[in-house]
Structure 1
C-alpha cells in the first residue's frame, strides 16, 4: 500500500523536497506522512474516471508554521471545465468545493471541519465535476483508515 501512495505524495509536494517524506503509518486505504514542516493524511482513489490525465489524491494537511490545520485538498483525475462545480459526496452528504483547473479545497476552515467529521464516520467518498471536454469526472475513495491517518498527521505536527 505504501508504494501505491508514494507517487501521490510526490504530486502533493509544492516545492522540491530534499528528503523523502517520513512515513507515520499506513492505515488500510490511507497513509500519513511528515515532510519538513507539514504533515498529511493521503489516499489514492479506489476508482478513477476513465482516461485520467494525472494521478488524483485526497489529502488532509497540517502546516503549523502557516497556521493551517486539517485542510482538505483533492487533486482531480482530469482537468476541470471552467465554470463547472466540484461536488464532494460522503455517504449521504454533499459539499461544494472551491476549485482551480486540477485541484479542489473546502471553501473555509468550518467546511474543512465538517468534511473531516463526515470522512471520519463515512464509508465512501466521491469527488465529481466535468472535464474540459464535458465528460463526467468521478473519483471514488474508500474511507477505511482515514480517521486514523488524519489523527496520526495531526499528532505528528502538534509536536
Structure 2
C-alpha cells in the first residue's frame, strides 16, 4: 500500500511539472512511465527516497526516449541542489560508479555508451545513489529505489514504438 501511495503522489506531482505527460503508461512500484506524443517522447521517472535536508529543487531521475531523434534510454537527473560549474557528480549503482556531467541542477551520462551501461546496471540493482557538491561546498546525495525501474523503462520504450 505504501508503494502505491508513493507512486500516486509521484504521478500527481509530475502532472503539474515541466515533465507533465499526456498519457500515463503505468506505475510500477515507485516508478511511473509516461508518453508525450506532442514532442514526441516517452520516459520512466522516479523520485528519490525522502530527505530531511532542504534543497533548491525537487529531485528526480528520468530515463527518456525520443524516437524522432533516435535517442533511447537517455538518463537525466534533476539534483536536489544547485552545483557550481565543473562540479563532480557521481552515480553509484551496485558496485559500479559513473562520473556524470552536468551543471546547475541537472546531470547526465557523458555519452550514449554510458547511458546504456547505467540503464543496464539499473535493471539488476536494488538502488542507486547520486552524490554531488552544491555551490556552498556541501556534499549531498539522493538514493533511488530501482524496484519497478526496468518495467517502467520498458513501458516507456514500447509507448514510443509508434511515435517515430
Q: TM-score, normalised by structure 1?
A: 0.90
Structure 1 equivalent of residue 35 of structure 2: 34
Does the C-alpha gap of structure 1 residues 145 and 46 become closer, same or farther in structure 2, counting only changes over 3 Å?
A: same
Does the C-alpha gap of structure 1 residues 77 and 68 become closer, same or farther in structure 2, counting only changes over 3 Å?
A: same
Structure 2 equivalent of residue 24 of structure 1: 25
SS at match of 2:80: coil
Structure 2 equivalent of residue 124 of structure 1: 127
- Any stretches of 5+ residues in structure 1 without a counterpart? none
Structure 2 equivalent of residue 90 of structure 1: 93
Does the C-alpha gap of structure 1 residues 10 and 114 become closer, same or farther in structure 2, counting only changes over 3 Å?
A: farther
Structure 2 equivalent of residue 64 of structure 1: 67
Larger CA deviation: 40-49 vs 25-34:
40-49
Measured after TM superposition, the shift of residue 92 of structure 1 is 1.1
Does residue 107 (structure 1) correspond to residue 110 (structure 2)? The answer is yes
Q: TM-score, normalised by structure 2?
A: 0.87
Whether the aligned pair in 2 keeps the contact of 1:8 and 1:57 (CA below 8 Å) is no
How many angstroms apart in 1 are the aligned matches of 2:11 and 2:49?
A: 12
Q: 1:4 aligns with which of 3, 10, 16?
A: 10
Measured after TM superposition, the shift of residue 132 of structure 1 is 0.4
How many angstroms apart in 1 are the aligned matches of 2:103 and 2:63?
A: 17
Q: CA RMSD in A?
A: 1.6
Does the C-alpha gap of structure 1 residues 95 and 86 become closer, same or farther in structure 2, counting only changes over 3 Å?
A: same
- Any stretches of 5+ residues in structure 2 without a counterpart? 1-6
